[in-house]
Each structure stands twice: as structure tokens, then as C-alpha cells.
């Protein structure tokens, strides 16, 4: 039986900002259904890689593959891969409309209330208490959880998280962690997480990659710091 190709692969990837090389990856394969952690110092290309894998940034050089095929239609692939940044910007609408937005854009309006409620429940927010609440009324932790719920609602094939728990209170951080696991366990979502918190990554992730200051991957280490 043929093995399924990685859900995301990069080959000869390099990205530069002016005269500085921010990212330099010869090969990286991310299998479908894993929870993969990425760590490394500031400026080592971690966030740049997430933006490239989210098809929001075109690399200076190299190729990216999705399910083994060249990523030739970034606009279409952005409907299948989603990125949550450390400080997301919510729409100036209700919590319900923030979570429902991605579903509406994709034309997935059947059972809209149910999908929104499930996503909010996954991040520990009550539909009855939060759905009609204005974005202005949310704390920082609640806003991050609403942003996470908006991404869970669309059930992406790949969920990319960039420092998702930085500056969050303990409860919100735990909810984000649980939601990431739920996305993989319930819907088969592949999760890639960037964080400086090695202890947290070790608890959440099955494999951890370490980036070097020059934007390359460090040699694989024993235990969890490897990707199949």
C-alpha cells in the first residue's frame, strides 16, 4: 500500500528581507494529522515559515507542496489552511459574526448556529453568554479564544499557531491547548505550533523542530525533537 504524501512539504525554501536571509530550509515534510512544534530564537524564521505555509507569503526561492502537489493556487489553498497569530484582530462585530465569518465566506451556512456553538464550546466559551457579545467587551484572553474558535469552525486541514498562548492567563492558555488537540482528534487537522515555551510544546506536541539563528533547522535531536 502506498503511503500518503505529507500534507505540507517544502524544498529548497529560502526567504529574504532585503539583504537578510530570514529562512533557509532544504527539506521539510509535515505528515498529515500530527501536532508539530517549532521553537528557536527570535529572527530564526519561524513566523516567516508559518506565513509561507499559510500561503500568505511567497518565498524568495523554493517550492511548497500540499498533499504532494505543487501549491499553484494559493487563494484556493488559503481556504484549507488557516493561521492564528499571537495578537489577532477581530472583526468589529459580535462574537457570533466573528466565528461565523469564515463559514459564510466559504458558503457553509447550513447549521451555522450549531457550528459556531461547537467552536465556542471547544475553546470554553458559552454560546448563550458570548455569541451576541460585542468584540469590544472581550478580554485579551477571550479575544484570542474567539479568534481560535473562528478557525476551528471552518475545520481546516492545517491549523498554524504562532505563539498562541503568549501573554494569556492560565485558563485561556489551557483552553487553546485543549482546542488544538480537539481539532486534531475530532477532525484530523494537522497542527503546527510556534512557541518559545519548550515545556508547553513538549506537553502538546508529538514532535518538535528547532530553528537556528540563520533560519535553518538544527540537527535532529533524540526524543521528541524530530519530525517523521
**Grid coordinates in use for 87?**
495578537
Angle between helices 170-187 and 112-122 (to 10 degrees): 130
Which pLDDT score is estimated for 219?
Answer: 74
**Grid coordinates in use for 66?**
500540499
Read off the pTM. 0.93
Nearest to 123 by CA among 154, 144, 103, 100: 144
Question: Phi, psi at residue 163, to the nearest 5°?
Answer: 50, 55
Q: Would you kindly state where each structural domain of the chain is located, as residue ranges?
A: 8-210
Which pLDDT score is estimated for 227?
Answer: 46
**Domain 8-210, what fold?**
Rossmann fold (3.40.50)
Which pLDDT score is estimated for 4?
Answer: 83
Which pLDDT score is estimated for 2?
Answer: 57
Helices (H), the chain: 46-53, 74-77, 95-105, 112-122, 127-130, 140-153, 170-187, 198-204
Which pLDDT score is estimated for 222?
Answer: 41
Nearest to 191 by CA among 107, 105, 84: 84
Give one DSSP letter per residue of 96-114, joined into a string: HHHHHHHHHHTT--TTHHH
The β-bridge relationship of strands 190-194 and 35-39 is parallel
Rounded Cα distance between 53 and 40, Å, is 18
Distances (CA, A) of 140 to 79, 86, 111, 137, 166: 26, 11, 29, 10, 11
Within 13 Å and on the Cβ side, how many CA atoms surround 30? 28
Distances (CA, A) of 37 to 16, 122, 167, 226: 23, 21, 18, 9
Tally of residues, the chain:
228
Across the 228 residues of the chain, what is the mean pLDDT of every consecutive 10-residue run? 84 93 94 96 94 96 96 95 93 97 93 97 97 96 96 97 91 93 96 94 93 86 46
Amino acid at each position: 500500500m502506498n503511503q500518503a504524501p505529507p500534507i505540507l512539504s517544502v524544498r529548497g525554501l529560502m526567504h529574504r528581507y532585503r539583504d537578510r536571509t530570514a529562512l533557509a530550509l532544504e527539506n521539510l515534510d509535515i505528515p498529515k494529522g500530527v501536532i508539530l512544534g517549532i521553537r528557536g530564537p527570535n529572527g530564526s524564521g519561524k513566523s516567516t515559515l508559518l506565513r509561507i505555509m499559510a500561503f500568505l507569503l511567497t518565498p524568495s526561492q523554493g517550492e511548497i507542496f500540499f498533499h504532494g502537489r505543487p501549491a499553484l493556487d494559493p487563494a484556493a489553498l488559503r481556504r484549507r489552511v488557516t493561521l492564528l497569530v499571537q495578537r489577532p484582530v477581530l472583526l468589529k462585530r459580535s462574537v457570533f459574526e466573528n466565528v461565523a465569518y469564515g463559514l459564510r465566506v466559504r458558503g457553509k451556512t447550513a447549521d451555522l448556529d450549531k457550528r459556531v456553538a461547537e467552536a465556542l464550546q471547544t475553546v470554553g466559551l458559552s454560546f448563550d453568554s458570548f455569541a451576541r457579545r460585542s468584540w469590544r467587551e472581550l478580554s485579551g484572553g477571550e479575544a484570542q479564544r474567539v479568534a481560535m474558535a473562528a478557525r476551528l469552525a471552518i475545520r481546516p486541514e492545517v491549523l498554524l499557531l504562532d505563539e498562541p498562548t503568549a501573554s494569556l492567563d492560565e485558563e485561556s492558555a489551557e483552553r487553546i491547548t485543549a482546542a488544538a488537540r480537539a481539532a486534531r482528534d475530532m477532525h484530523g487537522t494537522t497542527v503546527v505550533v510556534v512557541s518559545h515555551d519548550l515545556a508547553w510544546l513538549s506537553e502538546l506536541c508529538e514532535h518538535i523542530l528547532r530553528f537556528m539563528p540563520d533560519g535553518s533547522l538544527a540537527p535532529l535531536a533524540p526524543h521528541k525533537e524530530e519530525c517523521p
